Chains A and B, each alone.
Chain A
């Protein structure tokens, strides 16, 4: 199972900081997401693209997690040489993260 089976995601940008929301399609999957999709795993999944720390905020009522990725936009929208200077694609890349239903 991959994250895309359980949740939808959206990325936003502010300066050199990206945020990715991970939202459960079904509220009952929120706990599984909370266990599986940790800040450490998100940082690892995006690898070299994220130079800074990754923070996670929990929004249990919405069945959602919000990840804040510091220094993740190659210097920020205005200076970045990246094709996707806003990091709009980051949320989609995260959807391939493997999720183990046993946890």
Chain B
């Protein structure tokens, strides 16, 4: 295989890394803007949530070439022309449950677009289902063990760190596609590769992890998930731009976005994102390092430019976290709206009727939720003192069988002609439940492996 566009790149003092997606369904245009105008070295797409990989494993069971991110083709098709033109290397966990098939698909897309030569690496080895089937382990976040959890065990994916990605970059991969990898590791890897940080330089690895954590949710640091009119106003949300970091070899960075895009990078957006999904700020655990976020500092340098410094780390954990997925029945759901005077009372009557009608399912119902959207569906403590002009009845139940789950929506729909006055707009849905819990495995049991696809 000939070298791709990454061939011959050299170590430097400054690296620009952008984030092109913060979740699997994220907008595509901001990544194209970053690839075109960000003057980036790397563009990272974080597309894999805890539950997503278990769903992807199910897809792969049905189709051998499936199980990678459903938007992979669309995303890479949109971004690759500018990325190749500008020498921007791509790293993503869009490989999901099938990184090797994802790499083959990526190569196909590049060929179709007439792009190349390209080197594409797939990182596999996160799948540890075989290991967990052979040996039981205690759960991390729930009582009992992997084998004791109710439901059918269908997936087990260990969180890989930055190491295999760095190896791929060292072998001049233009695109690296992983399955389950820790989100910040996708960003830490190019920093380790470019700056030559050693794997026991915990301070640098910690600071790189802070930068990865700040970038990994894309628009959440540029004003998305932030605006609150009159209190926290953000301009141009419809054209929200995604962030990039200009990282120096000491692990400090300046967070920016492409000029002319919507949103804002301020001290407030940075602080919110630093603390997002954080527990103990001194112990942010990844496969690479236990990072310390408590000493991170922000300084506003100018419009949409915030300098991040501080942060540190200590030795990486001995074991790797594993997300374990189980099939656990189905969720059936139905909704219907009531309005005008007495809407709340009619809504409550509707809930009581459906509850009674579903009671014939008996023990098949594993969990049941009855609520009024607009009154108490999100605020579980609402006492109903207010009387909204409209409420939406919502009934959701987790049920062992698909047939049982289907009954939930049907009983809600039946309220049209068999329930209180004026029920409108009934909807129903059924979806399979994939429960995800966590356990730990020894690093020795996880063997990351690289596979290559070439485009001539």
A: which residues have CB within 8 A of B? 4, 8, 10, 12-17, 19, 21, 23, 25, 46-49, 57, 59, 61-64, 66, 68, 74-79, 81-84, 88-89, 93
Contacts and interface: CB of A to CB of B under 8 A. Distances in A.
Interface stretch (B97-105, B346-354, B430-438): B430-438
B276 interface: yes
A14 B297 contact: no
B24 to A, nearest CB: 14
B268 interface: yes
B277 A81 contact: no
A59 B275 contact: yes
Contacts of B368: 81
Interface of B: 49-51, 54, 141-142, 225-226, 228, 231-232, 268, 271-281, 294-298, 328, 331, 367-369, 371, 373, 377-381, 394, 396-398, 433-438
A10 B221 CA distance: 12
User: Which 5 A-B pairs rank lowest in CB-CB distance, beginning with the nearest?
Assistant: A12-B277, A21-B275, A81-B369, A47-B381, A81-B396
B379 A83 contact: no
Contact of B276 (A10, A16, A49, A83): A10
A19 B50 contact: no
B331 A48 contact: no
Contacts of A10: 225-226, 272-273, 275-276
B277 A15 contact: no
B157 to A, nearest CB: 14
**Interface residue SS majority, chain B:** mixed
A1 B161 CA distance: 46
B435 A68 contact: no
6 contacts: A61-B295, A61-B297, A75-B367, A77-B50, A77-B436, A89-B378
Contact of A64 (B51, B275, B367, B396): B275
A14 B226 CA distance: 20
A41 to B, nearest CB: 14
Contacts of A21: 271-272, 275-276, 278
